[in-house]
Amino acid sequence: MAASSSRFAIIALSLTYALYFGQLGVITPYLGIFLDGRGFTSVEIGELFAVITLARIIGPSLWAGVADRTGKILFILRLGSGLTVLSFIGVFWAYSFWYLTLVMGLMMMFWTAVLPQLEVLTLQTIEGDSKRYGRIRLWGSIGFIVLTVLVGQALDFFSTDAPIYASMLVLIGLFISSLTLTQPQNLKPKAAVAVRIMPFLRDKVALLFLLSNALLQLSFGAYYGFFALYMRDLGYSGMQTGLLIALGVTVEVGIFLVAQRLISRFGVWRLMVFCLLATGLRWLVLGTLADMFWLVFFSQFIHALSFGLNHSTSMHFIH
């Protein structure tokens, strides 16, 4: 019975990861296309993405504070996913910039309640088994890849509203999936812990690390917001765009498997500099030679460095 219960818990967690990151695979690449179809300008699209990013920065800390004080991890996860569905309904009638900004801001604030609690539940369920965590987390990447390709193909046959219909279905599925999760009995409320940030900020090496990563993430702003629109304007099909985005995530998963060996051989700082230079080359190719499919195809392999390897080296530096 215990083995059966554990197996069900792993399946439920894997499905929830797949749906959570599947939603990310719809919104991140294709929200710009939906907004363009609604008649929003490039400036307005950029501002909406800024609001979404701000909500993704603020939200997790707020929800984590509530979770630490109450210990009601599963309740917060379900509440967040349920409120995300309710708030996202407003997108279907959103033709005003400010109304859509409000709806998307609320939706993202609620949505950010899901992943931190899901991570805690997963780590508690697997009791520190890193191999099982990797297998569960892999389903998040699979969900992202599958939804990115499917919605890209849907855009070849349906209107630019296709992404929000897909998002609605995925979010409903995420909420239903959250109802199948169980909270481990050994999870207890945590006392707030004071963290001193000033000593870290006085460290020149730490500041350089923060600056380089901030600039790297800044460079991704245009890619996340406008890549699909850019590809469409260059004559690429939705299917081609979806496959290009999915390719980037696929190679990102692969680099995680060898990242530790690369760090051991070349060192953190050399790899960080290499990732930054490679990312610059990637943006140069996309900005000047994007009409050549094979160059764009190979430039997507650099995503393994831009995100995957850089993330691994950053985590190694922090620890």
The tens digit of pLDDT for each residue in 237-264 reads 999 999 999 999 899 888 888 888 888 8
Summarize pLDDT for 44-55 with one digit per residue, the tens. Answer: 999 999 998 899
Q: Which pLDDT score is estimated for 193?
A: 57
Mean pLDDT of the chain: 88
* Mean pLDDT, rounded, for 47-64: 88
Answer yes or no: are the C-beta atoms of 313 and 268 closer than 8 Å: yes
Answer yes or no: are the C-beta atoms of 16 and 181 closer than 8 Å: yes
Residue 140's alpha-carbon distances to 22, 112, 144, in angstroms, are 7, 15, 6
Write out the two tokens for 293. 């499919």
Domain segments of the chain: what residues?
2-178, 198-318
Write out the two tokens for 280. 């610059």
Higher pLDDT, 195 or 50: 50
pTM for this one?
0.85
Q: Which pLDDT score is estimated for 187?
A: 52
Report whether pLDDT(60) > 70: yes
Domain 2-178 fold is Growth Hormone; Chain: A; (1.20.1250)
Report whether pLDDT(1) > 50: no
Position 143: which residue type?
A: G
Summarize pLDDT for 77-135 with one digit per residue, the tens. Answer: 999 999 999 999 999 998 999 999 999 999 999 999 999 899 889 888 887 666 677 78
**Backbone angle region of 235, left / alpha / beta, with phi > 0 → left and psi within -120 to 50 → alpha:** left
Position 49: which residue type?
A: F
Report the distance separating Cα 260 and Cα 253, nearest Å.
13
Report whether pLDDT(6) > 80: no
Report the distance separating Cα 306 and Cα 115, nearest Å.
22
Answer yes or no: are the C-beta atoms of 49 and 225 closer than 8 Å: yes
Q: Which pLDDT score is estimated for 65?
A: 85
